[in-house]
Amino acid sequence: MELKVQLTDNLKTAMKDNDVDSKRVIRSILSSIKNSEIDKNGPLSEAETVSIVQKELKIRHESIDGAKLNNRNDLIEIYEKEIGIINQFLPNQLEESELRQLVATTIAEVQASGVGDMGKVMKAILPKISGRAPGNQVSALV
């Protein structure tokens, strides 16, 4: 099922169940998707939609870091609950060992020999991952 349709369906369910947290998070994601569609002047691809959901997840993780610095346990709980809601919509994440193996295989495929070939490796590996690992984690391993 297309991610945007899944989000819309879950929003309807959350509205029926009066689930305030889910409604807030899903509306935020759908709003980001809509803004991107307006910027692009057209509908987003599935990969672009997954990217936006990952960006929303990253925002929550960064917010947790900020809340920890300020000893705001109440905010940490809220953001962790939101992360749980967002994770429902993302594909299963790769384990680090699987990701390392995929990186090694891709490096061998493109015959990379040094740091200068990082762009070639990233270009080859990102379609294989397709939202199952954060880009910064992939680039660190490459």
94 pLDDT more than 70: yes
Query: pLDDT tens across 104-133, in order?
Result: 888 888 887 777 778 888 888 887 787 777
pLDDT of residue 1: 62
CA 25 vs CA 35, 63, 76, 84: distances in Å: 15, 14, 15, 10
Name the residue with higher pLDDT: 97 or 40: 40
Question: Which token pair is 12?
Answer: 């309807």
pLDDT of residue 8: 96
Buried b (16+ CB within 10 A) or exposed e, 69-107: eeeeeeebebbeebbebbeebeeeebeeeebeebbeebb
What's the pTM?
A: 0.76
Query: pLDDT tens across 44-81, in order?
Result: 988 889 889 989 999 999 999 999 999 999 999 999 99
103 pLDDT more than 90: no
